[in-house]
A and B are shown apart, each in its own frame.
Chain A
C-alpha cells in the first residue's frame, strides 16, 4: 500500500494475508468458510497451486506478532474464464478459497459484504484498499509487516482506459482493461496498492456497511503519477461466487 497508513486493530477485520510458496498476497473473508482473492495469486504456470501451499492468516495487523496458526485451503476455485499464461490478461482475476473449518467471527475477523443487487461504482467514491504488500517509506520501497490501508477514489472508466492507452505507447506488453475491471487512485499518484496487496479488498461503504467492490488485481508500478490501480469488478461475479459457494 503506497501512501497509506497503518490499519488500527479491528478496523479491517476481513483482511487476510496469504502466504503461498513464499510469496505474499491478500484476500478477504466473505463467509465463514470462504476467502475471496485474485486468481493470479493461486495460479502458477497456468495451474492452480496445491492446497497445502496456501497458508491463510486472519485477524492480524502485524506480521511480526503472528501468533495464530495458519488456516489451510480445503479447495481452490478459480474463475473458469481466467486465462493468463503470460501475466498480461487479468480478465476474470477472481478466485475463491474454501477453508477446512468454519470461522467463528469476532472483532478481529469478520466478513465483508458482497455487492448488493444494483450496487454501483460511482466515480469519485472513496474506497478503502488494504494489504500487507509493498509500501514506501522515505522514498524506499519496503515490504510492510503491518497492515496498511489507503483511501482512493473510483476512477472514471474512460479516464482509466486513457491512462492505459498512454502506457501502451511506451510499453510492449500492456494488459487490457475490460469491463470486468475498474480503476481507483489519484492522478497525481502517491496513493495506490502494490505488490503483495494482490487479492486484497477494495471496499466501498454504503449506509455504514462495507462491501467488497473490488479485488486488487494489477497496475503499472505503484503510485505513479498518471497511473491507477486496477481492480476486479466484483459485482460482475456475484452469480459465479454464489454458485461456487453453493455447489461446494
Chain B
C-alpha cells in the first residue's frame, strides 16, 4: 500500500448532520475537519440548526473548533429559549481549517423534531496585510508596502529602496549595475544624505571598445575618513575606482576627486560604508570619448588625406602617391590604401611607401638599339632614343624618335605619328666601293 496524495483543499463545501433532514440518532460522535488552501479563511454559515436545546448545550451539542480553540458551541433552534443558536452570522476561522464535532446523548425527547444541522462553508481570502502584527515580535509582514493577493501577499518598497532577499524588508537602493550608455549620472544611496544603514554597491561603466570613460565628480563629496599627515585614509568607508591594468584607487575624505580620465572603456566603482561613521556620499557625471590615434605621418612622394587636427576611433585615412609613383606595402604594389584608427588607439595598418614607377625595358628594336638619354633604370620620365644598325639599316621615315616613360608606365613617343620605330634595310650602298685608279 502507498499513501494516497492529500486531496486538494476545497474552496467551498457543505456539512450536515447524519441522516439530515431526518432526525439524528442518539449516541452520536461525529467530526468534520474542514480545510481550504493556505492564505484563506473558512467562513461557515448555518442554513439550518435544530439540535436538542439544553443549558450550555449539555446534552446534544455541535462544537466549532479552530485547532484546540472552541469558537462556538451550538444547540437548540431559532426560537428556542435554551441553547445557543448561531443565527445568520457566519463563523470566520482564524486560519484555513475548522473542525466540527457533533455529539448526541442517549435520549432525544423531541426526537421527531431535532433534525440536526446543515451548513455551507467557503474559502475567504485572508488579508494578511490587515492582520495585526504577530505576537512573536517579528514585526509587520512588510517593512514598507504590503499588497494582498488571492491566497497570499507581496511586499514592495518605495522608490529608491529595494527588497532584500527576505522579501519583506526594504533597504536603500544602490542604483548600481552596468552602465553602457555614452554618458550618465551616478550617485551613492541617499545622496546627498547619509544612508541609514551600511551599504555595499557596485557600479560598472562599460562602453564599446574604442571609447574612453571620463568621470567628473561633483564638488559635494564626503566619505568618512581618518585624516593623517599623508592625507585621508579610507578605513571603513570608501569609494574604490578600478581601471583595468591599473592599481585600484580608494577615494574618501571631503575633497572631490574632480575629473578622472580613465583612458579605458571600462571602470568599476565599489562604494562601501559600514554602520560606523557617517558618509554623505558622492555623485558624478560620466562621459565617453572616442579613442585618439597618433598623427599618421607623411608619405614621401605622396599624400595622406584627410588632414585633421586629431584622429579618433573609426576615422579613416587614405594615402595616394604623386604622379609617377606607386603605392608599396611590404614590398608589394597595392592599388589603393586606407587605414582605420582602431579601438586600441593604433592605426590598423602602417602607412605605405611611394616608389617611383618604371616602364620596364623599352621594346627592343630589330636591327637597331636603344640609347638612354636621361633617367635611371627605366624609371618615370626616363628618355630613350632608338637607332638602327647603320649603315645597313635606317629608321623608317628617317625621324629620330625619343620615347619617355610616362605615368601610365608606357614608353610614349614624342611624335604623334610614329608609335613604334622600325629599322628598314639600306639598299644599294655597299660599305666598300670598287676603286680603280689606273686608267
Contacts and interface: CB of A to CB of B under 8 A. Distances in A.
A10 interface: yes
A228 interface: no
A110 interface: yes
A11 B434 contact: yes
Contacts of B367: 104-105
B156 to A, nearest CB: 107
Interface stretch (B15-23, B369-377, B420-428): B420-428
A30 B427 CA distance: 8
Interface string A94-118: 0000000000111100111110000
A128 B425 contact: no
A110 B432 CA distance: 12
Interface string B426-439: 11111111100000
A10 B393 CA distance: 16
Interface-central residue, B367, B392, B426, B427, by most chain A CB under 10 Å: B427
Contacts, number: 61
- The size class of the interface chain B forms with chain A is 10 to 19
Given A31-B425, A32-B425, A111-B425, A105 B430 contact: no
A114 B427 CA distance: 8
Interface in A11-58: 11-14, 30-32
A149 interface: yes
B282 to A, nearest CB: 97
A11 B430 contact: yes
B432 A105 contact: no
A: contact size bracket: 20 to 34
A10 B430 contact: yes
A226 B122 CA distance: 166
Given A105-B392, A107-B392, A10 B431 contact: yes
Given A112-B427, A209-B427, A210-B429, A105 B393 contact: yes
A36 B427 CA distance: 14
Nearest to B434: A11
A14 B426 CA distance: 11
Contacts of A128: 434
B432 A107 contact: yes
B264 to A, nearest CB: 78
B429 A208 contact: yes
A7 B435 CA distance: 10
Interface in B178-221: none
Contact of B425 (A11, A110, A209, A211): A110
Interface of B: 367, 392-393, 425-434
